[in-house]
Structure 1
Amino acid sequence: MPLVSIIIPAFNSENTVKETIESVLNQTWTDWEIILVNDGSQDSTLEIVNNINDNRLKIFTYSNGGANASRNRGLSHASGEFVSFLDADDLWTPDKLESQFKALQENPEAAVAYSWTNSIDETGNFLRRGSYITANGDIYTKLLLIDFIESGSNPLIRRAALANVGDFDESLAAAQDWDMWLRLAAQYHFVAVSSVQILYRVSNNSMSANILRQEAASLQVIEKSFSNAPQSLQYLKKYSIGNRYKCLTFMALQRNPSRKQGIIAMKLLIYTIKNDPSLLMAKALLKVFFKIVVMIIFSPEQTQYLITKLNRLLNIESFLGYIKLEVLSINSNSL
């Protein structure tokens, strides 16, 4: 019986699924099985995976149920003592499983090991670095503020812990991975592998590209999580909302430019400032506001040209630096 079960939900993933599976085949740790759940794909996904010759790859086909249902279906077929999820467009570095398994072996009190993440574009080129946050032990408070795990393709999890906290929430249209990590962190310790081992692919066609769906689901997760959090942590709620809106604003401004996207970004920015008025003093706010105005006023082609020509002026990477990773509890007395 394999020690690790890797669950890959795949829906119309013909352009990326082979490379994703190859990143598992190239792992230095080889005691694993792949549970690939074909979620009613209408393209050549099934044909591609059927042509991969490795008896550790097990394929299950269902009618389309969405990513959450696919992960839960995959879990029902998994036999490993440890489980990791991998989206069909993301990649792992060859040492991912071995490093995370070693971390769990060296920290038996931990139930989850996670690594750092970088983003890549649709062609696999480096796009931007992740947050590179290292947190060990009880990470619940910090995870309430920001999802620094950053990807559903990241952690290696003890199967017993997953069984205890329950399935992925199929009522969520997005942010289901953050919800799962929070439920795990509420009961178990985490251990970090301080190395980039997950390559998260940013695609305009991916589920995460729907910003408004991300917004609604993120607010659901925050409400759900804080309804279960102790009273002593309730003061963090508005900071959690503010952080999420900063991330959503950034995401909206990194997609293909359009007037509609600019208007959405403006709405998100207003909610960001509402939840974190200190941003009004931030220098990066001017860049964000200027980029929004450019997207609203100019055509997509003109906006893209200006982004290229005025890169330093329209580069908003520094905006993410205003995410609050820690908030002193003394603030709760004045909220």
Structure 2
Amino acid sequence: MDRQAVTIKVSFIIPHKGREEMLIQTLESVSMQTLPMNQFEVIVVSQNTAFSDALHSLANRLPLSLIFNDPNKTISHSRNKGAKEAKGEFLAFLDADIALDANWSMSMIDVLTNDTNIVLCSAMQKNAVNAPPLERIRTALSNAELDQFVTFLPGRNLFLSKTTFHAVGGFPEHLQTCEDYYFTQKVAETGRLLYTSASNYVHLGEDKAFLPMFKKEIWRGQSNLASIKGRSIPLRELPSFFIPFAVTLGVAFLLVALLYSNMSLVIMASVLTILPLAVYTGRLKKLTGGSVNMYYCLLFYCLYFPARVLGTLLGIKGALATPTHR
């Protein structure tokens, strides 16, 4: 059937930078969608300087457009650039390391068309085969609020109408990270966001080792402050800013108290440290069930909290210099 005679239903927009192995796996999962291929297009916006032969060859199997972007631009700029080229009624924003289930497109279309109050949806994460403890932790945290309306969604797989995308002005190009939180909260002002089990995906690039995760969280945390400029902060989001500082400072105070043998300060610092750490670790153990033991749950937060604090402190200068997105 002639593609020109069929309305493009979905435009997949995939920002990319770096190695192509996972991008190719992402595209292969798109090629296996149950949505007829003449009803979707794929737009890769890459910040590399060239495309490999393997990537070019996929154009023979997919309605694929390959676009270059300035390597100094943000991921939001790449997403917005792809959206400008999109012809689809719906926009599907994917990270370049996502393997979609075959029914993903059809399920997302059904979610949005069956309930007009829902303006943005995202599928649940699934563990890869033989996933290590850290990946299982990340997946469990991602799926903590499943089949519920939420106030924001991670940017790994987002599905919305082109009309909604333009109504909120696209992604915030001033942010290096946390742009998905900013964008999806803006979308939430226009309707409901749903994290659904109707379909799933595997995050090919999910954190699998704890030390690299620690370093990555420092980088992610550097946009914490910049991401809250120009938007309202839900009460439920506040603990994610304050608890890492409470636990990290609690450890520092505890060491000082032990050094000076000040038992009153030792008790105070212990409560400040142990209580929130125990609550978060216990919740994580409950989310992961029997797939992850308590040691790894505790280790996760012992690294995650200080990494977030370091990242936030490093991001203060950038937050002061960053203009509010409009």
SS, match of residue 157 in structure 2: coil
1:181 aligns with 2:184: yes
Find 1:284's aligned residue among 266, 272, 278. Answer: 278
C-alpha distance after superposition, 1:234-283 (max 9, x if no partner): xx2xx52322566x79xxxxxxxxxxxxxxx946988xxxxxx8774256
Whether contact under 8 Å (1:5, 1:33) holds in the other structure is yes
Q: Percent identity?
A: 19
Whether contact under 8 Å (1:3, 1:80) holds in the other structure is yes
* Residues 266/280 of structure 1: CA separation in 2 closer, same or farther (3 Å cut): closer
1:313 aligns with 2:295: yes
1:62 aligns with 2:74: no
Task: Give the aligned partner of residue 163 of structure 1.
Answer: 166
* Residues 282/170 of structure 1: CA separation in 2 closer, same or farther (3 Å cut): closer
**Cα root mean square deviation, aligned:** 3.7
C-alpha distance after superposition, 1:202-227 (max 9, x if no partner): 2589999632332231222234322x
* Residues 14/318 of structure 1: CA separation in 2 closer, same or farther (3 Å cut): closer
Task: Give the aligned partner of residue 96 of structure 1.
Answer: 104
Task: Tell me how far apart the structure 2 counterparts of residues 125 and 84 of structure 1 sit (CA, whole Å).
Answer: 29
Find 1:111's aligned residue among 108, 112, 119. Answer: 119
Task: Give the aligned partner of residue 267 of structure 2.
Answer: none
Shift of 1:92: 1.1
| Gapped regions of structure 1 (runs ≥ 5) | 250-264, 271-276, 289-309, 321-335
TM-score normalised according to structure 1 size: 0.64
Find 1:202's aligned residue among 201, 206, 211. Answer: 206
Task: Tell me how far apart the structure 2 counterparts of residues 286 and 192 of structure 1 sit (CA, whole Å).
Answer: 22
1:243 aligns with 2:227: no
The higher radius of gyration belongs to 2
SS, match of residue 102 in structure 2: coil
1:154 aligns with 2:157: yes
Whether contact under 8 Å (2:40, 2:63) holds in the other structure is yes
Task: Tell me how far apart the structure 2 counterparts of residues 283 and 110 of structure 1 sit (CA, whole Å).
Answer: 35
Residue identity opposite 2:297 in structure 1: N
Task: Give the aligned partner of residue 320 of structure 2.
Answer: none
Shift of 1:76: 0.8
Task: Give the aligned partner of residue 263 of structure 2.
Answer: none
Task: Tell me how far apart the structure 2 counterparts of residues 59 and 100 of structure 1 sit (CA, whole Å).
Answer: 24
Whether contact under 8 Å (1:84, 1:157) holds in the other structure is yes
Give the structure, 1 or 2, with the largest relative contact order (CA under 8 Å, sep 6 or more). 2
Shift of 1:286: 10
1:211 aligns with 2:217: yes
Shift of 1:22: 0.6
| Gapped regions of structure 2 (runs ≥ 5) | 1-6, 253-270, 283-291, 303-326
* Residues 131/279 of structure 1: CA separation in 2 closer, same or farther (3 Å cut): farther
Whether contact under 8 Å (2:251, 2:273) holds in the other structure is no
SS, match of residue 172 in structure 1: coil
Residue identity opposite 1:202 in structure 2: E
Whether contact under 8 Å (1:8, 1:35) holds in the other structure is yes
1:19 aligns with 2:25: yes
SS, match of residue 80 in structure 1: coil
Shift of 1:109: 2.7
Shift of 1:186: 1.3
Task: Tell me how far apart the structure 1 counterparts of residues 279 and 67 of structure 2 sit (CA, whole Å).
Answer: 47
Equivalent residues in 2 for 1:214-233, closer than 5 Å: 214-226=220-232
Task: Tell me how far apart the structure 1 counterparts of residues 172 and 104 of structure 2 sit (CA, whole Å).
Answer: 26
Higher deviation after alignment, 78-87 or 64-73: 64-73
TM-score normalised according to structure 2 size: 0.66
Task: Tell me how far apart the structure 2 counterparts of residues 94 and 268 of structure 1 sit (CA, whole Å).
Answer: 47
Task: Tell me how far apart the structure 2 counterparts of residues 202 and 55 of structure 1 sit (CA, whole Å).
Answer: 26
Task: Give the aligned partner of residue 131 of structure 1.
Answer: 143
Q: How many residues align?
A: 256
